[in-house]
Each structure stands twice: as C-alpha cells, then as structure tokens.
Amino acid sequence: MNNKLEKLKEILKSCDNIVFFGGAGVSTESNIPDFRSSSGLYQTKYEGLSPEEIISHTFFMRNNKMFYDYYFEKMVYLDALPNKAHLALAKLESMGKLKAIVTQNIDNLHQLAGSKKVYELHGSVHRNYCMKCHKFYSVEELLSKKDHPYCDCGGLIKPDVVLYEEQLDSKTIDESLKAIVNAKALIVAGTSLLVQPAASFVSYFRGQYLIIINKEKTHLDKYATLVFYESVGDVLDEAVKEM
C-alpha cells in the first residue's frame, strides 16, 4: 500500500477541488451495519416481511407503528461516532481542498465530524417533519413519540429519509452532480457501486484522478488512478496525517 499511499498524498496535496462519494462502508467503520451486505439487514426477515417491504412508502403510510419499531431498532444509531474517515474528510474540507461530500448514508456522521458541505442522497434520520404542517421534529422527539408519531396538528411525522418507492430529492441530485462534474479528484469509498443511482453518479466525473477505496472490487476499478482494497478510515487517515 505504501507506493499507492504516497501517490494519494501527492494527489491530495496538488488538488484543491476534491469530492468524496461515500457508501455504507464509510459508516460500517462506526459500527453501523451495511444494509445491503450479505450478512446485512436486507437478508433478514422481520415478522415475516422483507426489509424492502417495511422500508417502503406504502408500508409507512399503512403501518407506521411497525415501521417505526423496525426503523428505530435497525436503522437509527444515535450513539455512533465519526471514525477516521469522517475526521480526515473534515480536515480536507477545512484546508479548502475538499469541496463536497456526497453520501448515501443517513447517519449525520460527516456533520458530527465537522464537515459542512454534505449532500445526503438518501436523507437523514436527524430531520423529521409533519406531513401536514411541515413542523420539524428532532430524532429524539420522534423516538419519544414512536408509538404515536403524530404532530399536534394531527399530521403524521415522517423521517426525511428516502424510502422505497420514493424519489431522491432533485435539488440534492443536481448539487451532487454539479460537484462531481467539476471535481479534479473524486474519491469513491465504501461502496461497491452496485446500487443505482450511486453507480451512475460516478460516471459524471470528468476530472483527472479517480480514487477508489473499497474492501471489494468494483466495476470501475479499471478506470481508477488508484484502488485500495482496504479500510476507508485507515487509508484516509494515513493520507492526511502529515498535511
């Protein structure tokens, strides 16, 4: 890894327009399970239902009680802390090098680490709104109301998390793609790029250096300047250590 690491350090030093695109593998290093991995959540049935059924818009509207039982048991990790990857990226942003983080994670750990420009493609468990009057609820407030998740106005409170059958937010997509199109270096990490639209996002990159950090191979490895089959946190921590 040493030669590659030196090369990565040079790239990070020379670039002031870096974008990071991250998947579940960034959060697993903070002990948040990867929903889609072979041992992950999506393989396990819950009361006879598949996770895809439960985490769908239809199911949420029909059975919010069971949805929230599942959601707070399997998808919300309020005690999780930023790991070395989150901290390294926050450092790169504060140095003016990293221009944006595009993430598929919903756990807010980039912001907790201090990152400012974070595009959350799948939303965030920390934002919750009444579907009728749009009043904001913190995740703690929602948790305390999970058996009766209704606003004072009578509306149902919904997390700002993209469920199955729902579209990604178009403004977030536009801003993410704009950042990727304009980047000189793109770091893709913790994603196997199998789930759309994640994979297609990376195809918008026109810059010079594509860096992939993922424990498993991806179909874009052959186009990358550098590929690390290692922990995202280990690689990024080493790379920014002396910067």
Which range in 126-134, 139-147, 216-224, 232-240 contacts Zn ion by CB under 5 A? 126-134
Q: Which C-beta is closer to Zn ion: that of 1 or that of 133?
A: 133
Residue from the set 18, 98, 130, 187 that interacts with Zn ion by CB under 5 A: 130
β-bridge pairing 123-130 and 157-161 = antiparallel
| Nearest distance from C-beta of residue 143 to Zn ion, angstroms | 18
Which range in 16-24, 52-60, 150-158, 230-238 contacts Zn ion by CB under 5 A? 150-158
155 near Zn ion, judged by CB under 5 A? yes
In the numeric block, which tokens belong to residue 188?
Answer: 């893709």
151 near Zn ion, judged by CB under 5 A? yes
For this structure, is 122 an active site residue?
yes
**CA–CA distance, 76 with 99 (Å, rounded to integer):** 27
Estimate the crossing angle of helix 2-14 against helix 232-240, to 10 degrees: 60
Residue from the set 135, 148, 219, 241 that interacts with Zn ion by CB under 5 A: 135
Q: Which C-beta is closer to Zn ion: that of 153 or that of 195?
A: 153
In Å, how far are 59, 179, 181, 214, 231 from 12, measured between CA atoms? 45, 17, 18, 18, 18
186 near Zn ion, judged by CB under 5 A? no
Of the residues 86, 122, 134, 148, only one is catalytic, namely: 122
Q: Fill in the amino acid letter for 220.
A: L
Tell me, rounded to whole angstroms, the distance of Cα 66 from its chain centroid.
24
CB 83 within 8 A of CB 100: no
Q: Which C-beta is closer to Zn ion: that of 78 or that of 133?
A: 133
**CA–CA distance, 168 with 43 (Å, rounded to integer):** 24
**If you compute the radius of gyration of the chain from its CA atoms, what whole number of angstroms results?**
19
What region does 158 belong to: left with phi over 0, alpha with psi -120 to 50, or beta?
beta
Which range in 59-67, 134-142, 170-178, 206-214 contacts Zn ion by CB under 5 A? 134-142
Q: Fill in the amino acid letter for 153.
A: C
131 near Zn ion, judged by CB under 5 A? no
| Nearest distance from C-beta of residue 136 to Zn ion, angstroms | 10
Which range in 77-85, 149-157, 193-201, 222-230 contacts Zn ion by CB under 5 A? 149-157
Can you give the binding site for Zn ion, defined by CB under 5 A? 130, 132-133, 135, 151, 153, 155
